[in-house]
Chains A and B, each alone.
With several copies, the nearest count.
Chain A
């Protein structure tokens, strides 16, 4: 299966009730793309963490804003591009805390980084910030 073009697009509002839909869709897409069940579950968690951060940080819990998810499959990698039109921050501000200094928050970015190969936050998108997440496929 070789595809360089935009595979799938999912647009929802920034309401937590859509997280489950987003997770299930991501899992299905990852399975279609040939990832193993475990890898698909990892990507399901990654997208949840990324969208939760959009709701919390970018939209400050405003549940009525758009979240646009784009899924691309290339020969060597799977990409997820998460677009929103909320608050932009400096990329350096998207960072996880020290993992061994246990605190209630600050685990989302850590999980995303741990389970993907590239995490790139770009605040300069036309409509708002975008988070680009890349996972290389096994065949690499």
Chain B
């Protein structure tokens, strides 16, 4: 799992590269924790290079979303591959998250 991040127009963009399972969730959680500690309100997770995710990844996004909700922040998802989208649909989380086809759209939606 490789994690890159940048800030654009006040939005924190986290770009994940690799498969998401319990061997990588701690690393990603650490990244989110920093942003939550700083009470960042706008996070976009770019999943275009994530070919696979399991429930531990979904759980991490839910957890992060709920933590951010406490201070009025929101986590948005972008670029889901077909396989990853299927797991969100299976667990009915497509309604829980704002999901965008492109990272750019997700960033702009925060305006």
Roughly how many angstroms separate A52 CA and B56 CA in the complex, as a whole number?
A: 9
If the complex has contacts A102-B96, A104-B62, A110-B91, are A49 and B55 also in contact, measured as CB distance less than 8 A?
Answer: yes
Roughly how many angstroms separate A56 CA and B54 CA in the complex, as a whole number?
A: 14
How many residues does chain B have at the interface if contact means C-beta atoms less than 8 Å apart?
22
Roughly how many angstroms separate A56 CA and B58 CA in the complex, as a whole number?
A: 16
Chain A interface extent, by class: 20 to 34
B59 vs chain A, min Cβ distance (A): 4
Question: Which chain B positions have C-beta within 8 A of A52?
Answer: 21-22, 54-56
Query: Is the C-beta of A68 less than 8 angstroms from some C-beta in chain B?
Result: no
Contact of A48 among B21, B60, B62 (CB under 8 A): B21
Task: Known pairs A20-B21, A111-B90; list 7 more (Cβ under 8 Å).
Answer: A17-B23, A41-B86, A49-B54, A55-B22, A102-B62, A105-B59, A111-B54
